[in-house]
Amino acid sequence: MDITKIFQSADWKKEKHVPVIETPAKVKKGENFKVTVSVGKEIVHPNTTEHHIAWIDLYFHPEGEKFPYQIGKFEFSAHGASTNGPNTSTVYTHPEATITFKTDKPGILIAFSYCNIHGLWQNSQEIKVE
> Is 118 one of the annotated active-site residues of the chain?
yes
Catalytic residue among 13, 28, 34, 51: 51
> Is 51 one of the annotated active-site residues of the chain?
yes
Residue pair 47/93 in contact (Cβ under 8 Å)? The answer is: yes
> Is 96 one of the annotated active-site residues of the chain?
no
> Is 17 one of the annotated active-site residues of the chain?
yes
> Is 41 one of the annotated active-site residues of the chain?
no
Work out the burial of residue 70: count CB atoms within 10 Å of its CB; fewer than 13 is exposed, 13-18 middle, 19 or more buried: exposed
Catalytic residue among 41, 45, 52, 79: 45
> Is 115 one of the annotated active-site residues of the chain?
yes
Q: Considering only CA atoms, which of 7, 4, 37 is closest in space to residue 19?
A: 37
> Is 61 one of the annotated active-site residues of the chain?
no
Active site residues: 15-17, 45, 51, 115, 118
